[in-house]
Structure 1
């Protein structure tokens, strides 16, 4: 039986990792950050302030699609991944047999900029946000979650709307 895969998506600074980690813990599934699967060349390019091209993303997306298939056949997973374009989302979906559960973390660009300005331990800097916002093709399916809500409320909304069972408290 295929296990659920939940993709928490959006631009940098929207809270993908924070929401994804908390969601995974609450539903008892492993969490993966799509950024961890980028090549060293992609990370260096972004760290230098250059946006990735579709060609840069090709192998990264193919790797994630393969991993999604593996996770679906084993434990299920929560994956934080920007998935900015519909073509990227279709590549990821191609790795799975069942439909993926898409969660789009959406928010005001000013809030996103402020979050990124306060981030000092990540290669994605605030000056890259405009490029991501220009690239973003907003999904017309899945859940749209407002990032202005408290993290706990965002996670609760995802669990409720996707009808996810929660893990027993440790």
Structure 2
């Protein structure tokens, strides 16, 4: 699904799905070698913690899918997001790196033919791995914290603000 407005970020997810694919994912905000690293917004420099653990969009998406019993089976992006995927989702979830980040806005892209083959092979492996992939879940209630940069036209420097919330339903972890 693309475009706005849409009913919710993950409209259409239900237990009929057999797997979630995150194609072109980015590493969480603050990842030095993550190309275009951000979590929900690069403009406001958002960072999220759930139950005391900082996470990025890969985990946010996996958590919402996991609520419905949907395992994340494949994540593609740069080397940094692939590390993040393995760290949080484990080895059963296939990750395919298509570039190596050297700065927030700079990357070394892998050759096209090599990337095409890696994506094809990754998708094939992901389909085979579905039985081993476990839906990602968080213990509820989820204690959430979001930190973001606020630009105030009257202030000479932006400031970080923090919001906290408790979520009984993991589908709402983005609603601060």
TM-score (normalised: structure 1): 0.30
- The structure in which a higher percent of residues are helix is 1
Larger RCO, structure (CA 8 Å, separation 6 or more):
1
- The structure in which a higher percent of residues are strand is 2
TM-score (normalised: structure 2): 0.30
